Structure 1
């Protein structure tokens, strides 16, 4: 978000997130982005995450439209960058 010029309203701690080069899997969940936002709004326990909800919808949807994972081990061949959590298992 910082690279896109989006002001967070706070200085992220050093351990906020992980380096992009460690991410091995990116899943497109854009059709569910609005549902994710509504779920955060519905749970007061998510108060520390509410700064995301202050972002304008045109910024929030792309932020919530991707889920990121790190593959730690695989017994089946897999590409270096995945877009399917079940690749190689179907």
Structure 2
């Protein structure tokens, strides 16, 4: 499988979203075009899928100070 997402050094914010994994999975199930039933994610063990979906990674489209961000909206306000 090809790499998914962006290079690690682009990431400026990492958020634990483990409290929201079930709703994320429900959302995917309501949008069948988002998850190929024959794709690589369809055969993942539930515990691995939960772990994978428990963290969200963000990066700023414009350069920042280089320091990790806690609030992805901080520079917009």
Does residue 55 in structure 1 map to residue 41 in structure 2? no
- Which segments of 5 or more consecutive residues in structure 1 lack a partner in the other structure? 1-10
Does residue 23 in structure 1 map to residue 11 in structure 2? yes
Cα gap change, 1:40 to 1:64, in 2 (>3 Å): same
Counterpart in the other structure of 1:84: 71
Query: Per-residue deviation at 1:88?
Result: 7.0
CA-based RMSD: 2.8
SS of 2:56's partner is: strand
Structure-1-length-normalised TM-score: 0.62
Q: How does 1:4-23 map to 2 (within 5 A)?
A: 11-12=1-2, 16-23=4-11
CA contact under 8 A between 1:24 and 1:82: conserved in structure 2?
Answer: yes
Higher helix share: 2
Deviation sequence 1:60-79 (CA, Å, 0-9, x none): 112111111112348xx967
